[in-house]
Amino acid sequence: MAMGSIAGFVLRLTRESIPQTQAGMAEALGVDLATVQGWESGRRPLANMKIGAFLALRRRLPAMGANPSVVGLIDAAMDADRIIGMALGPQEAASAHPLAEWVHTRDTAHMIAWAVNGTTPPTLAKLPTRPRRGPVATAPLLSKQDRNTFFEHLRSTAETADRSGERGILLHRQALYLSSYDKSPEATSWTAQALHARRDLVAVRGWTPHWAEARSTAAALARLGDPQPLLDFIERSMVGDDDGEAADLNYWAYWLGAFAESQANDSFMRDRSLSGWDPVTLMRCLIRGLDQAPGYVDLYIHSLWALLTAHRWLPMAAPELANRLSDQAEQLLDGGRIAARSRRELSAIRYVPRAERT
């Protein structure tokens, strides 16, 4: 696998969204055809460009008519390339591991999932299909050997990370979370065992340095089909605890892209002022998640309840979102597949928008 394959694939989709040929793109950008071909194949990683040239490219693409949502995924794709490249390339010291250097977002996780199991990110799934000549790859999928190497690296990293400091905690939780993307039976068994070994974290009340690790552990177990640890985490580490509720909303805001700045560790989640992100954007993302992530529906419901409790003005500021949330609440309550606490909170969520509009 070329080290810039994921970002190159996103660049190809960006070009096709204009739409433009490789030759036309090269002419418009003032570079030769081989350069564009190298970018898109990953043989010339975008990460190797001079920063001025890269910023110029990023700014030029929307002006050429490229889909802004796809352009916005280039950074996450480059992050994913770096994380995967760490596993497939020469090994460096653990302190230099990209999973220990910054808190990654859902977009980065989606890029990695796309490369390891072919799951198309939601943003890209909506793109119209372009006619092409002959067989063309539909994802920057790693070879079986590279996938095995990547997941072996993640498991080894999770096992050996020194969790005595912020970087080690971050490295462990992010490596373990990404390990849950391995769908092979043996890997699923290992991941479930490793996650269950950390279930003691879920029982801790309020904020601790391991709060985000506990949340990631519970979420990964829910993905593997065991929802109870996530329900326990909501009950013990969030409900009725201001630090826990604030940490959850800050985590969501960062994970879903409502946070303005990249974070080096999990400590930003302790900010109880909830001032680093846009509440309307977070509300929109959480409402969308009610449909897209059924395995986490109870967490989405509680987080929406907490968000509307903290910002009671939201229904008036975003009436269309409030209407949509009311409709979804009706459907979920009729469906009967949510926990008892979620039913109570969803009933309150359904009432609040209506009350604010009267």
pLDDT computed for residue 143 by the predictor: 94
Read off the pLDDT of residues 30-53 as tens digits, 9 standing for 90 and up. Answer: 999 999 999 999 999 999 999 999
CA angle 247, 250, 256 (to 5 degrees): 135
Report d(CA 25, CA 63) in Å as an integer: 12
Q: Please indicate whether residue 311 or residue 351 has the higher confidence score (pLDDT).
A: 311
Residue 120 has pLDDT above 70, yes or no: yes
Report percent pLDDT > 70 for the chain: 92
pLDDT computed for residue 58 by the predictor: 94
pTM, two decimals, is 0.89
For range 192-214, the mean pLDDT = 76
**DSSP symbol at 130:** P
pLDDT-derived band at 95, boundaries 50, 70, 90: very low
How high is the mean pLDDT of the chain?
88
pLDDT computed for residue 222 by the predictor: 86
Q: Are 84 and 56 in contact (CB under 8 A)?
A: no
- 223 by Cβ neighbours in 10 Å (0-12 / 13-18 / 19+) ranks as middle
The residue written with tokens 């994802």 in the block is: 139
Q: Name which of 84, 121, 58 is nearest 4 in CA terms.
A: 84
Read off the pLDDT of residues 55-76 as tens digits, 9 standing for 90 and up. Answer: 999 999 999 999 999 999 999 9
Q: CA distances (Å), 312 to each of 19, 168, 300, 309, 336, in order?
A: 43, 38, 17, 6, 27
Cis amide leading into 319 (omega within 30) = no
Residue 144 has pLDDT above 80, yes or no: yes
For range 234-260, the mean pLDDT = 92
For range 224-244, the mean pLDDT = 89
For range 93-115, the mean pLDDT = 87
- 352 by Cβ neighbours in 10 Å (0-12 / 13-18 / 19+) ranks as buried
Rg of the Cα atoms in the chain: 21
Q: Are 27 and 21 in contact (CB under 8 A)?
A: no
